[in-house]
Chains A and B, each alone.
Chain A
């Protein structure tokens, strides 16, 4: 596997806040990554350092084997679609696309036009006057049509409705199939993107919590539901990342793949197995990693359910 990005012991401090805490990871070439985590976990900071829009406090970052900072050779191979991209006051989407065409060597104009039609974007209206969703569409179109070797999408879907998001996901997959490239997609809508991403990177409080292939994570945890005594009997020394009870019924989420004999035992004990989605797993793991936080958030969850 060729590496597109290598990050070693990266730290970023803003005064007394540690946004990124001694993080190391690599990004394989031509792979779609999901960069997931809560607000303030450090996702945007990492992406902005990788694209030389921010300085690291310590550690090394290399993109295609080079340092990205003030390095036009590397920067023109990357596209960073920010959640809150700023444009000049009287700029129109057509201006933004024209600049993108000049900057990105692989820009595909027919593809851009098709996306403009897909998203029904008014290209001659001033960007200031666009709705939140239309503003997001501008970024998504640039991110896709630039066909950069590495593309970062930082929560690109704000204000996009379900139909527009599906258009984004579909076009991304289609175009990626024909023009494989490295994509780093940061999202809170984990279940929406879980089938698109090949690898998942979870950041929590400035540290990497998970770095695995998405398929390996899919059967990594299960929720066991049934009579409390039987559930306790089954779990033994398995690692429990979440537990809730209602009367005599307990539901526990345990880590580890269930083998055939485990399933047989569950059947014999009269217990049921419920799958755990990627989103649930990440929520549970994040709560579990934060220890006490799991207890404080549990009542809120029960209320909102």
Chain B
């Protein structure tokens, strides 16, 4: 689950972010501790701490003295906004490059996307958002 060639602390931070985005780690829930992350990913605790600190600086996590790290209110919206901005670069761009290589134009692509999407049992984006707003009651912390 850890890949080569990218800074480990970034991957750890992204892992925690993913849990917040998919809702398994709710806002105001306790985040996994540095040592839990280190043990789970089998990495040096100092590296895990660097990832956690990055999330604190970003305002995704905050520290309660003597207790641990918690997910900040608004963290999910913050992360969603950030990921949506990065989406075009991370996913659309490589898609276009590969499509061009295969002689597929933008029209072919959008047709393919619509076709595929219709075969998925699509969870409407609306309910995703509502779920973010009722968060804060979920207290299952280190669910991973």
Give A residues with C-beta under 8 Å from B.
31-32, 169-170, 173-174, 176-178, 195-198, 214-216, 218-219, 222, 260, 264, 267-268, 270, 274-277
B39 A219 Cβ-Cβ under 8 A = no
Interface size on B, residues (CB 8 A): 25
In the complex, the chain A residue whose C-beta lies closest to that of B50 is A215
Given A177-B35, A177-B39, A270-B101, A197 and B44 contact (CB-CB distance below 8 Å) = yes
A31 B46 Cβ-Cβ under 8 A = yes
Tell me, yes or no, whether B94 is within 8 Å of chain A by CB.
yes
Give B residues with C-beta under 8 Å from A.
2-9, 34-35, 38-39, 41-47, 50, 89, 93-94, 97, 101
Task: Looking at the assembled complex, report how far the CB atom of B111 sits from the nearest CB atom of chain A, in whole angstroms.
Answer: 23
- The residue that B45 contacts in the complex, of A169, A176, A222, with Cβ under 8 A, is A176
Which are the 7 A-B pairs with shortest beta-carbon distances? Answer: A275-B5, A275-B4, A177-B35, A195-B43, A277-B4, A267-B97, A198-B46
For residue B47, which residues in chain A have a CB less than 8 angstroms away from its CB?
Answer: 195, 198, 214-215
B41 A275 Cβ-Cβ under 8 A = no
Q: What number of residue pairs across chains A and B have CB atoms under 8 A from each other?
A: 69
Given A173-B39, A197-B44, A215 and B7 contact (CB-CB distance below 8 Å) = yes
Task: Looking at the assembled complex, report how far the CB atom of A281 sits from the nearest CB atom of chain B, in whole angstroms.
Answer: 10
A267 B8 Cβ-Cβ under 8 A = no
For residue A169, which residues in chain B have a CB less than 8 angstroms away from its CB?
Answer: 42
A275 B38 Cβ-Cβ under 8 A = no
- The residue that A196 contacts in the complex, of B3, B34, B44, B89, with Cβ under 8 A, is B44
Residue from B5, B35, B45 with most neighbouring chain A CB atoms (10 Å): B5
- The residue that B42 contacts in the complex, of A173, A197, A218, A270, with Cβ under 8 A, is A173
- In whole angstroms, how far apart are the Cα atoms of A32 and B45 in the complex? 10
- In whole angstroms, how far apart are the Cα atoms of A160 and B128 in the complex? 49
A195 B93 Cβ-Cβ under 8 A = no
In the complex, the chain B residue whose C-beta lies closest to that of A196 is B44
Sampled A-B contacts (11; CB under 8 Å): A170-B39, A174-B39, A177-B45, A195-B41, A214-B47, A215-B9, A218-B8, A267-B93, A275-B5, A276-B5, A277-B5
